[in-house]
Structure 1
């Protein structure tokens, strides 16, 4: 993620300082950026030569090169103490007026900001992998972040050729991973309750919702260890849970998905993904599979975090969905979504209690999108 973000910034004509803990890592980053730029240049995606773009990137194992930066983006692993350590160092080195951004995918921005002397200038800037190809950036203010910092970050995202989605309120997991988590939870509940097989869940996702991957297939692709960590962070910080042991069992067995060659599916070799073969038919209805995710979307709208269009922008640009999740809900019928939620809620799953927004929309015949 770090060298991908550096590449995007340099493509946009910005001078970049890339810092890491060793020259081995930096040299590998240089090779990957050069290869990526060559491919983009050959395809006509970029006009400037790879050499001219690489000349904008200075690498170092010392924070000293950051003494004159206007904007710093951290992209270290999802470990809060590690992120705080990096922000402590950056806070000492970069100019007082400069902004510090974190590329975290789930950790609350306030938890990172509190370790600095410039809490109002710390913000979340969540890129999607791989950064040179993915258009989405979630911009997340903490409870301390100033409007000026948010506006600058949104503008910077656009200058980097990205489509920013700005959250109005900080929430663990942001939009992308909260919706993703709800899809994972319902997929897992279906299988563990014996209502559908793993293959049937993924067949519904691919063949009825036209998603690029099945839910379990996508989890394998992301990494089941990453999924479990994400799940834990979001639930521990207040989101309602849905009991599921399948993912944890896979991680305990060191079957982490594509990266190990086996997860819910088996792949050609560790690190080598191949599209999973799935049955054409499935007994699982698409409105049931997305019901919990739609409920989460309604919660995000109710709490004025984002609107329906912004939720759908995240899912289309961040996950390559052909339609946004709220748009899917409209086409499948909000009454069907609510009936599924009520049915599962009555089985004892508290997370499925229909959001008041959905209930009101069904009673008034409203949709998220006007015809």
Structure 2
């Protein structure tokens, strides 16, 4: 099937970003939202962004030609000739189901319907349609024009043909797709991200390090672009709590921690409110946080729970080690993959921390069978010549 026209529903930050990516990639694009206010604002932002790319010489095509391929409307009528639709409305299942019902009613029978959800199960959304085999997860990262990663998540209903077409589309959009074998709550990105935040929280609540020391270790030892609490502030603490809740209510083992929820109750939501774990110049204005250069926090402990989660995904054949590292590099701007870091820090060190924390009553830290097996076989990472990778 040839994809010529893409329709995006939802003109917020993600929606208008995805629409711009599609237009830049040569597709005809329709952008739908409930109000012309949202649509006009989205059009202005797309125009600014495309103009900036042109002025910097990053694109050769004229701005007006790119914008000429786009149409904006409050009506679903512009989806009548769409080959592919991407829903990017807020993370609310009922709202998403309504969008999918509308798209299902108006689009041709061959049209693939994708959702940009970051945590809601794809099959739940698919069940609102009469074409469950043509519904798929296509999770872009913010901002879509810059971030290279797209997670492709087939549901239990999605056909292989639809999955392959979605992967090809992501490549045509100049993105790096990572396909999950089947859907799990939070996919790869949010499961790993929340595990990092949970261990950071556990360490602070147990007096093993301060917020600043944790973030200093993340930035100065792991060389991450931001500290973990700083990144949580940047994403929005309300968003973090929502993702966390979705994971837990859908059966992901929890780690008890109240730091994030308490901030949300205090209405300290991070950068968007001007204050979270850190204070910012003004609401919505991010400024790099000043952190101490030294920290007693061991990076092997900081990543231990996330590495355990990653090994669970590999053990269950959901994704490969390489896939997980691709997600962290291109979705979170990690300088290298999480599992590459684990191999360098020593899997025996990571394993020792997991066993120790598990023994203190944190069930989620129980080392996976895969990790146990690797340690038994002496696959300890770089120092032994093999870990998650061969050296």
Q: In which range does the TM-score fall when normalised by the shorter chain?
A: over 0.9
Counterpart Cα distance in 1 of 2:60 and 2:317: 40
**2:140 counterpart of 1:127:** yes
Q: Which residue of 2 aligns with 1:178?
A: 191
2:251 counterpart of 1:238:
yes
2:388 to 356, 368, 371: 368
Segments of 4+ in structure 1 off by > 4 A?
Answer: none
Specify the alignment match of 2:3 in structure 1: none
Residue 291 of structure 2 corresponds to: 278
Q: CA deviation at 1:359?
A: 1.1
Partner residue, 2:270: 257
* Correspondence for 1:27: 40
Paired residue secondary structure (2:114): strand
5+ residue gaps, structure 1: none
Q: Given that residues 200 and 284 in structure 1 are in contact (C-alpha distance below 8 angstroms), is that contact kept between their aligned partners in structure 2?
A: yes
1:330 is the counterpart of 2:343: yes
Structure 2 portions without partners, runs of 5+: 1-13, 380-386
Q: Secondary structure at the match of 1:177?
A: helix
Give the match for residue 17 of structure 1. 30
Q: Is 1:179–1:296's contact at 8 Å kept on the other side of the alignment?
A: yes
CA RMSD between the two structures: 0.5
Query: Matches of 1:40 and 1:355 in 2, distance apart?
Result: 46
TM-score (norm 2): 0.94
Classify the secondary structure of the residue corresponding to 1:24: helix
Aligned equivalents of 1:290, 1:43: Cα separation in 2: 38
**Equivalent residue number for residue 128 of structure 2:** 115
The equivalent of 2:305 in structure 1 is 292
**Residue-pair matches, total:** 371
Q: C-alpha separation between the residues in 2 aligned to 1:84 and 1:139?
A: 19
Q: Secondary structure at the match of 2:282?
A: coil
Alignment partners' CA distance in 2, 1:219 and 1:192: 16
What is the 5 A alignment of 1:345-356? 345-356=358-369
**Distance in 2 between residues matched to 1:250 and 1:287, nearest whole Å:** 27
Of residues 139, 153, 161, the one that matches 2:174 is 161
Would you say 1:248 and 2:257 are equivalent positions? Answer: no
Aligned to 2:190, the other structure's residue is in SS state: helix
Separation in structure 1 between the aligned mates of residue 152 and residue 60 of structure 2, nearest angstrom: 28
Name the structure 1 match of 2:52.
Answer: 39
Q: Give the TM-score, by structure 1 length.
A: 0.99
1:364 Cα deviation from its structure 2 partner: 1.0
Name the CA distance, whole Å, in 1 between partners of 2:376 and 2:53: 50
Q: Is the 8 A contact 1:106 1:177 kept in 2?
A: yes
For the 8 Å contact 1:169–1:304, the answer to whether it is kept is no
Residue 9 of structure 2: aligned partner? none
In 2, Cα distance between equivalents of 1:49 and 1:368: 46
Separation in structure 1 between the aligned mates of residue 98 and residue 30 of structure 2, nearest angstrom: 19
